[in-house]
Amino acid sequence: MQNQIASRAGFTLAHLPLLGAGSSRTESLASYVLRLAHAHGYRPNDFIKLLAPLSGQAERDAGQWIGQFLDTRFSDEASVLACWVPLLEQLTGVSGLAVATLGTWGSLLTRRGSDAVVRQWCPHCLEDGHRSGGAHMHLLWSVGLVQACPHHGTELESVCPHCGAGRTPSGRPAKRFAMHAPGVCASCGGWLGTVDPRQPQASPREIPQASNHAVCVAEQIGTLIARPLGPEESLRVHCTLNVAKDRYFGGSMVELARWIGLGKSTVHGWLSGEVVPELRRLVELALKLRVPLGDLVRGCTDSLPLSLTSGSAGLKSYVRAEPRPDEKRADLRQLFETRPDLSIREMARLLGMNPRDVYYYEPELARAHSDARRMEQSEAREAVLDEAAQGVMTHLARVESVGECTTVRDLRAAAANEAPSLSYADQQRVVTEVLKDWAA
pLDDT at 372: 87
CA angle 339, 345, 348 (to 5 degrees): 75
pTM for the predicted model, two decimal places: 0.70
307-334 residue pLDDT tens: 776 444 333 433 333 445 677 788 888 8
- pLDDT of 12 > 50? The answer is yes
Question: Are the C-beta atoms of 219 and 152 separated by less than 8 Å?
Answer: no
169-184 pLDDT, tens digit per residue, is 777 778 788 898 999 9
Of the candidates 298, 299, 293, 295, the residue with the CA atom closest to the CA atom of residue 242: 299
C-beta neighbour count of 84 within 10 angstroms: 29
What is the C-alpha separation between 43 and 412, in angstroms, rounded?
36
CB atoms within 10 A of CB 394: 13
Residue 297 to residue 385: CA distance in whole angstroms? 53
In this prediction, residue 137 has a pLDDT band, given cuts at 50, 70 and 90, of very high
Domains of the chain, residue spans: 1-208, 234-322, 332-361, 374-439
Average pLDDT for residues 133-141, to the nearest whole number? 91
CB atoms within 10 A of CB 432: 12
Is the separation of the CB atoms in 71 and 96 below 8 Å? no
Q: Quote the distance between the C-alpha of residue 390 and its chain's center.
A: 38
Q: Name the least confident of 120-124, 167-171, 187-191, 376-380.
A: 167-171
Cα 351 to Cα 370: distance, rounded to the nearest angstrom:
18
Q: Which one, of 226, 86, 195, lies nearest residue 131 by Cα? A: 195
Beta-carbon contacts of residue 74 (< 8 Å; ≥ 6 apart): 28, 29, 30, 33, 68, 80, 84
Alpha carbons within 13 A on the beta-carbon side of 246: 7
Q: Computed over its alpha carbons, how large is the radius of gyration of the chain?
A: 26
For 350, counting Cβ atoms within 10 Å of its Cβ (0-12 exposed, 13-18 middle, 19+ buried), the class is buried
Number of helical H runs and strand E runs in the chain: 18, 2
What is the SS3 assignment for 169? coil
H or E element in which residue 185 lies: strand 184-185
The angle, 0 to 180 degrees and rounded to 10, between the axes of the packed helices 424-439 and 408-418 is 110
Query: Do strands 184-185 and 179-181 pair parallel, antiparallel, or not at all (unpaired)?
Result: antiparallel
Q: Which fold has domain 234-322?
A: 434 Repressor (Amino-terminal Domain) (1.10.260)
As a whole number, the mean pLDDT across the chain is: 82
pLDDT band at 354 (very low <50, low <70, confident <90, very high): confident
